[in-house]
């Protein structure tokens, strides 16, 4: 299971890098999304995928007899997913705004903030 997750994470990062090398802003941010999901998967796998009981204590705080699953990586992941989602929403809105301002999404031609004489 860990091997599959690791390979999948690597695959996602590969696709992400390929997308992010594009000059098109929309492809770039989709790459960013894949990258953050690839990393999430890597963290998930790094936290050990233990097939155990749910990490709940019994009555009076008694430990369950079988091995418990580690809840912490999942808590980290949930946080990271929520934050990633918020950031992605912002980046999408920013991309839309950029499209309205520039009329295109070609990162190579976004030079509005650069000095005049450098403009291509």
Partner 1 sequence: MTWILSLPILLPFITAAATLMLRNRKGAGWISVLGSAASLLAALALLGAVLREGVVATQMSGWPAPYGITLVSDYLSAAMVLITAIIALAVSVWAMAEVGQTSSRYGWHTLFQTLIGGVTGAFLTGDLFNLYVWFEVLLISSFGLLVVGGRRQAIDGAVKYVTLNLIATVLFLCAAGLLYGATGTLNMADLRQAVAAHPDQGLMTLIAMMLMIGFGMKAAVFPLFFWLPASYHTPHYAVSALFAGLLTKVGVYALMRMFTLIFVNDQGFTHEILLWVACLTMLTGVLGAAAQSDFRKILSFHIVSQIGYMVLGLALMTPLALMGAVFYLVHHIIVKANLFLIAGIAQRLTGSSDLYRIGGLYRSAPLLAVLFLIPAFSLAGFPPLSGFWAKFVLVKATLEPGMWLVAFIALLTGLLTIFSMTKIWAEAFWKPHPAGRQPSLALLSPRARRLLLGPVIALAAMTVLIGVWPAPFADFATTAAEQLLNPVAYLDAVFNVAGPAAPPVAPEAI
Per CB under 8 A, 101 contacts partner 1: yes
From 6, 15, 26, 46, residue interacting with partner 1 (rule: CB under 8 A): 46
Structure token pair of residue 23: 């000059």
Per CB under 8 A, 114 contacts partner 1: yes
User: What is the Cα Rg of the chain in Å?
Assistant: 21
How far apart are alpha carbons 85 and 89 in whole angstroms?
A: 6
From 48, 53, 64, 106, residue interacting with partner 1 (rule: CB under 8 A): 48
**Paired residues of 63 in beta bridges:** none
Minimal distance in Å, beta carbon 109 to partner 1? 10
Per CB under 8 A, 83 contacts partner 1: yes
**51 secondary structure, DSSP code:** -
How far apart are alpha carbons 83 and 87 in whole angstroms?
A: 6
Structure token pair of residue 74: 């999942």
Residues binding partner 1 (CB under 8 A): 20, 25, 28-29, 32, 35-36, 39, 42-43, 45-48, 50, 68, 70, 72-73, 76, 79-80, 83, 86-87, 90-91, 94-95, 97-98, 101-102, 107, 110-115
């Amino acid at each position: 299971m860990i091997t599959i997750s690791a390979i999948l994470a690597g695959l996602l990062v590969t696709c992400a890098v390929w997308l992010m090398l594009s000059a098109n802003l929309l492809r770039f941010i989709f790459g960013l999304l894949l990258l953050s999901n690839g990393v999430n998967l890597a963290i998930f796998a790094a936290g050990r995928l233990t097939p155990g009981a749910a990490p709940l204590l019994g009555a009076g705080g008694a430990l369950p007899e079988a091995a418990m699953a580690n809840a912490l990586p999942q808590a980290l992941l949930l946080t990271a997913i929520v934050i990633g989602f918020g950031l992605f929403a912002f980046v999408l809105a920013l991309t839309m705004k950029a499209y309205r301002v520039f009329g295109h999404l070609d990162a190579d031609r976004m030079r509005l903030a650069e000095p005049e004489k450098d403009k291509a």
